[in-house]
Amino acid sequence: MNQTSVKCFKGYAQVGMRYNIEVFYTVPDFYHTKLFTCLKCGAIFCADQEDIDYSGKPLDVVVGKTICPGCSSELSESMAPYPQLFRLEDGTIGHFEPTRQILDDKVSLAIEFWDLYS
């Protein structure tokens, strides 16, 4: 599995009494890349909606065959939508609901994630 740069935005989550935990999120804007995470190790994955729609390989089929490069667990059992769910270093699971506001390109970031379709 290779890593791909994804256009995303930064958000700040709160988990318990811990604040300003950096998370990343994407918004649909002409295209849409979805993000996922492995809840067993915190690795973050991406899947372009066009790959899901047009590659001939549905997402559940791809996930069913994939092993997490971070912890070797089966992604079909450990994968969850990110950043709605994310794992902190100590194993705590956090929640973050990204804004649906479409922000300016200038504040976007290019972050590399594991590409489920690579």
Q: Rule CB under 8 A: is residue 60 a binding residue for another protein?
A: no
- Of 11, 21, 41, 49, which lies in the binding site for another protein, with binding defined by CB under 8 A? 49
Length of the chain: 118
Tokens in use for 37? 């995470």
Q: Considering beta carbons, is residue 18 or 32 the nearer one to another protein?
A: 32
Q: What is the dihedral of CA 113, 6, 108, 22, to 10 degrees?
A: -20
Q: Binding residue for another protein (CB under 8 A) from 22, 30, 89, 90? A: 30
**Residues paired with residue 74 on neighbouring β-strands, in sequence order:** 67
Closer to another protein by CB, 34 or 40: give it: 34
In the three-class reduction of DSSP (H, G, I as helix; E, B as strand; rest coil), residue 10 is classed as: strand
Chain residues in the site for another protein (CB under 8 A): 4-7, 27-33, 48-51, 53-56, 99-105, 110, 112
